[in-house]
Amino acid sequence: MSTTAVPLRPIAKGSLTRLWIGVAAVAVAAGGLAWAGQRGVEPSPASYLARNAGEDGVMTTDSGLQYKVLEEGEGPSPTAADVALVGYKGTLLDGTVFDENPQTAMPVDGVVPGFSEGLQKMKKGGKYRLWIPPQLGYGEQAAGPIPANSVLVFDVQLHDFKSKADIMRMQQMMQQDGATPPPLPGN
């Protein structure tokens, strides 16, 4: 058995330096492309909420709802058995407005769980910002302009609230007043 020797040429002076410079340039280019590819990419809900939890004035409940008191109200807070008169603006993390109403009545227990929990923390006249994680919003379901697994951001003002029982009594009184025939002229 014989071995054939292949003659190796000596490396030209400076070739090794050029090789390492090329490797470094490729690494820098790859890092730049990775950074550029991440620009404009929405953070995951978990990473956004983790970062937001550290912001000044942001409180996080046991359920994961985050809120910030923009203006404290006065008096008691609504319960799940109440109907709240609120003004709100709902946006996605990128600032897209998906719903807004300056004044509407809504049952506290008739909205997504995170919104309901936030309302029950507020007092009349208060203004809050709510960050509702997907599991307290629409979760894995898309809802109209809201993509699946979205963090919902609401600016909410609680104008007033009444119990559902009080509202039912008021409606019954109004129906009774409307059902009473007007007096006949001359009587």
> Low-confidence residues of the chain, pLDDT below 70?
1, 6, 8, 10-11, 36-42, 179-187
* CATH architecture group of domain 46-170: Roll (3.10)
Q: What is the pLDDT of residue 167?
A: 86
How far apart CA 152 and CA 110 sit, in angstroms, is 17
Q: What is the pLDDT of residue 155?
A: 98
**Which residues touch 113 (CB under 8 Å, ≥6 apart)?**
63, 136, 137
pTM more than 0.85: no
